[in-house]
Amino acid sequence: METTAETINISKIFRIVWSNIYYIIIVTLLFALLGLFTAYIIPHKYKSKTTLNIQASYFQHPLVSDLLSDVSDPSELNAQRLALLRLALSTEFLDTLGQKYQLFSHAGSNTQHAIDRELFLKKIEYFSVSPTSFQISVVADTALKSYHMAQDILAQMTNTLIEQRYQSLMRARSAILKQTKLLNSTMSNSGALVQRANLDLQLNKMEGSLAALKSRLADTHPQVQALKSRTAALRAQVSHLPDQASETIDDYTRVFLNPSSRTSTQEIYDDLLKKLSYLNIVLEMEQDRESVSYLTVIEQPTLPFTPFFPNSKEFVLLGALFGMLLTLIRITYNELKRSNELTPHEAAEIFKLEFLGELPPLLEKNRILLLEILPKSVVALPLTLRET
């Protein structure tokens, strides 16, 4: 009857491992050396890092916040920061950088060039390390190249961020200026109409007085002459003033021409003037790009002294682990195989087979000898068989 499976216990495992300890150590060391050798021969890659802080104030516009909407949601802020960083890595910039550092191998083919560009883009990483800070890194085949590339990328990103904000403020200022001019013109028109109405009233009174005076005095009377000349002067003054709103003025402006809007228009005009003034100050300040307050380079690009890939220690460790794993698999396999191997007597006992005996060992040289001689001996056999 077949025996039950052997029980595996700790001491047995220890004994098996101990009996194979030299094998384990040698194979593990060999694989560790192989890992070291691999780490030595495969191309090295260097990574230069830099950290950029984009403060929330970048997205805030005091006094014009009602014109340029501020972002306050943290996740949206983060998304906007990432979008701005990605915007900096434009196709043109990547191409320029690629040519500068000779990164593209396929200059002729557009498709291959696009693939090269995409591969290069994958070597540039940027991710947030804190709510406002982003780590930017770039991988290159030499330490110096990665360092210079990181510098270029950082400069491109800061320039893009500043330019984007500057352009945004410039657009706001342009719009405010336009609106201010419009209101200025509107208010001027509105004043002229009121003045004409007053002068018309005054002219009517003077004309009435002149008619009354003419009925009593001759035309050559000095009083009549004086009134007549004053009336003519007033009429000339009235004729220079617009008698109604211009037909070319759009509906939007016409609203402001309403006399009842005069006060409100004045208020808006004052407010816009204040905003315009503020924007002028801000833009003046931000023209000096070295001293913007919302961008800070926390960590300047680093010059990597050791390759980030391959890491020799990791390769050695991985090699050693792999080697050890292989030896353990091999030992386990051998043990399982050995546990299933039976001696002839065990097999005979377990499976109720009579053990008749054992052939003498056939030496390998005899075995080969027999196999080699066979084709030559066919013609000389006592049992040569012939077809009849």
Partner 1 sequence: MKACIAQENVSKTTFEDSNLEKKAKNFLIDYIRYPQCKRLINRIFTAQKTNNFKSVAVISQFPEEGKTVFTAVLALGFHMFLDKRVLIMDTVSQTRDESFYYRGLLGHSLLELDQKKKQSCIDLITTRNVGSKIRFQHLQTPDKSTEVEIPDFNQDQDSDVTSDFKLCGFIESMKSNYDLILLDTCALSTANKYNFDPLILAQHADTSILVTTPRSLDRGLLKELTQELRRYNVSSLGMVVNPVVA
Binding residues (CB under 8 A) for partner 1: these are 2, 340-344, 347-348, 350-364, 366-367, 369-388
> Closer to partner 1 at the Cβ: 13 or 350?
350
Q: What is the dihedral of CA 342, 344, 346, 352, to 10 degrees?
A: 120
DSSP lists the bridge partners of residue 53 as 133, 296
Least CB distance from residue 11 to partner 1, whole Å? 23
Q: Helix, strand or coil for residue 134?
A: strand
Taking Cα atoms as reference points, which of 113, 108, 135, 128 lies closest to residue 47? 135
Q: What is the dihedral of CA 155, 43, 26, 317, to 10 degrees?
A: 20
> Closer to partner 1 at the Cβ: 201 or 368?
368
CA gap 256, 190 in Å, rounded: 8
Q: Helix, strand or coil for residue 299?
A: strand
Radius of gyration of the chain (CA): 49
Least CB distance from residue 307 to partner 1, whole Å? 50
> Closer to partner 1 at the Cβ: 259 or 344?
344
Least CB distance from residue 338 to partner 1, whole Å? 10
Least CB distance from residue 41 to partner 1, whole Å? 41
CA distances from 340 to 4, 31, 126 (A): 11, 30, 57
Least CB distance from residue 367 to partner 1, whole Å? 7
Least CB distance from residue 376 to partner 1, whole Å? 7
> Closer to partner 1 at the Cβ: 1 or 218?
1
> Closer to partner 1 at the Cβ: 313 or 367?
367
Least CB distance from residue 124 to partner 1, whole Å? 58
Question: Which H/E stretch holds residue 86?
Answer: helix 74-88
Least CB distance from residue 359 to partner 1, whole Å? 5
> Do 46 and 304 contact (CB within 8 A), yes or no?
yes
CA gap 156, 93 in Å, rounded: 8
> Closer to partner 1 at the Cβ: 33 or 342?
342
CA gap 88, 148 in Å, rounded: 17
CA gap 316, 333 in Å, rounded: 25
Strands (E), 97-183: 124-128, 133-140
Structure tokens at 223: 């009083």
Q: What is the dihedral of CA 295, 300, 306, 309, to 10 degrees?
A: 20
Q: How far apart are the first and last CA of the chain?
A: 54
Structure tokens at 92: 């043109």
> Closer to partner 1 at the Cβ: 236 or 380?
380
Least CB distance from residue 20 to partner 1, whole Å? 21
> Closer to partner 1 at the Cβ: 247 or 354?
354
Question: Which H/E stretch holds residue 181?
Answer: helix 143-216
Query: What is the β-pairing status of strands 295-299 and 46-54?
Result: antiparallel
> Closer to partner 1 at the Cβ: 10 or 383?
383
Least CB distance from residue 368 to partner 1, whole Å? 10
Q: Helix, strand or coil for residue 369?
A: helix
Q: Within a 13 Å sphere around the CA of 328, how many CA atoms are in the beta-carbon half?
A: 9
> Closer to partner 1 at the Cβ: 13 or 336?
336
